[in-house]
Structure 1
Amino acid sequence: MKILVTGAKGFVGKNLIAELRNRKFTDILEYSRETDQTLLDKYCKEADFVFHLAGVNRPKDQSEFMNGNYGFTSTLLETLKKHQNTCPILISSSIQAERDNPYGISKKAGEDLLFEYSKETGAKVLVYRLPNIFGKWCKPNYNSAVATFCHNVAHGLPINVNDSNVVMKLVYIDDVLDEFINALSDKENIKEDFCEVPTVHTITLGEIVDLIYSFKDSRRERAIPNMSNQFTKKLYSTYLSYLPEDQFSYDLKMNTDSRGSFTEFIKTPDRGQVSVNISKPGITKGNHWHHTKNEKFLVVSGKGVIRFRKIDSDEIIEYFVSGDKMEVVDIPTGYTHNIENLGDTDMVTIMWANEVFDPEKPDTYYLEV
């Protein structure tokens, strides 16, 4: 299948082409402002499906709206008609087409043109009135508030919010891609005359800003946001894509002493925390128990033993562990426990706890095993 993508260098176009290739579509005809215009004739003759994503949304002059959103659509359709190519066409329109402004008027004109073309030729047309789209590779300080906020916050630049109570309707780029590629197999989500991306997120501008600032703070706090919230998960991925290339890494606080070190790696609001424990040869750490807190230990380097004793028993239980055999050891409540390095090199243990450490309520009670 030969797939023509107009607007191939734009935000949606770049993402779509990357995902089409991921899904083994190899014959992709890319058309953008930089493409030799004579290739449009060739592409329109060969195409088996058209993703018409080209458009204008931030021109220098408002007259460019109609030229870019109506004029090029007209040229595209006329070229397809010239070759009697009635392949399906999917166009990315906008919910602004419902509004009486220069951008909306130009998008509505493009839609009407496509519907008339369908009546005239019998070609299948799919018109997607999309709300605001967010995700990686969207140009900041252009036409996306989310892209601008993510970029500016990540780069330590100010942002301007006129009304934090403005309600936004947003679709995530990956959800858009899934829907568009479904349309290749006649599985589009259509409601009456228009097609829709099934998953739409509704949130205020102020809530978006608060989330983005919390993402920046999370690196300092060694935390990650609540990934069970789908919008938060998608926005966090978007934010990370705007990090300055010299700031991908960030430091952790290592608590060191003669026994080794203990470093908190990740804290979460609902899944506890992960830490890295390094024990010097011959060192024993622990000798405490918990009422409710539970942990998992995974030795990834070195060798040692984890000992348990139920607090009302004299019986000692031993689990010998090694980085040569990846094995998770649960630390049940009500058992005092310790971990000893039996090797002659540092022993590295990944430790998960079901709750973030709270110094006001540590739930940790000293007792020798």
Structure 2
Amino acid sequence: MSYVLCLHRWVGSQALYDRYELPAGMMIRAICTPESLASLPSERLASSSTLASLDDAGAVMAEVERLVERHGAPALVVALNEGDLLNAASIRERWAVPGDVVAWTERFRDKLTMLEIAGRQTSISVLPAVAADSREAVEQLAAEHGYPLVLKPRYGTASRGVKILRGPGDLDQLQQAVEPMMVQVYCAAPILHVDGWWDGQRIVVVTASRYVNSCADFGPDSPLGSIELEEGEDEQRIARHVEQLLATFAPGREIVFHLELFDRGDELLFLEIGARVGGAEIPFLWREVRDIDLLGIAWELQTGASTRYRDLARSRSNEGRPLHRERGAWVIARRGSSPGDGLGTLYWAQPQDLERSASGVYEGARTRLRLRSFDGPALVHDVGKVFEQLTESWSIQS
């Protein structure tokens, strides 16, 4: 029987596999982790293989070889999590499976490749960067732009391994790298994330949100939050610039996207882009607040099994904006903490007695809150109040 090979690492219900259409006569064979096994759809599952980590590309490929030997090559390969996109592309290339290949995928995974492509357009500015394996190039970058600089993995996720180089003495860290790294000019401007679906010609639906703190600051004593921008000229300005950027990255190709930008007010600067759905609470807010399933669209783009979720998204949007005008926000923190009283926009909080281990940095957060309201200032107020409550709670614990 033909099958869809699915690389799956989420513990929760980000992807609703039991609802998504499968090509006729096909079942799913999944490669997952022990923690993510329980979130797979049992009725559609022909088999599952568990690995300690899907980050081990060699182990993933070895398991695919075993599956191919027993069941033949998969008809399709699906990976919805950012960390699995390159493995999925490598599998497609090796066994001649249709779908996105490595060269295409790397433009959305290798941050230096992203910068080179982003530099082909002029709507959004690009910060200079160099590969970290040339100390001479890094020293030249510092001579031209000064310190601080940012050292980060070229294929990193969730700001893992990002460090600030504050002076020449920090350049010794370049020699400690165990994976491909890059060094980029530092920018202290607020960070936006822009999420949606591009159909190859235009943005069908998009939202823009502003981070509270930044992903790089997320740590044991620093929560991370995000608030969607209110409808208006600022949001429209961002969308216009983003549409030109997407025309450079994916001309004639459909993608769901998660884009991060620095916002200097009169100028947007490119940070990074992913051809995948954003992390943390983003897929849940899209589904729960505006009834658009971006992961359902991503599934359709990788399987070609239906257009249901794209059709629904078109019917729930107009000129790139969701028809439903309510806005969402979220807060996550590594420490556990119950939300306080007086949060009128809070609609979901992760139970504090939940015992589970997640492979992702954000999914593993012990505090996860989702908020929604038609009143933008109320969202801003409540997210600020959550940050105050977390700071007060943690100071008492310390």
Q: TM-score, normalised by structure 2?
A: 0.29
Q: Which has the higher contact order (CA 8 A, sep 6+)?
A: 2
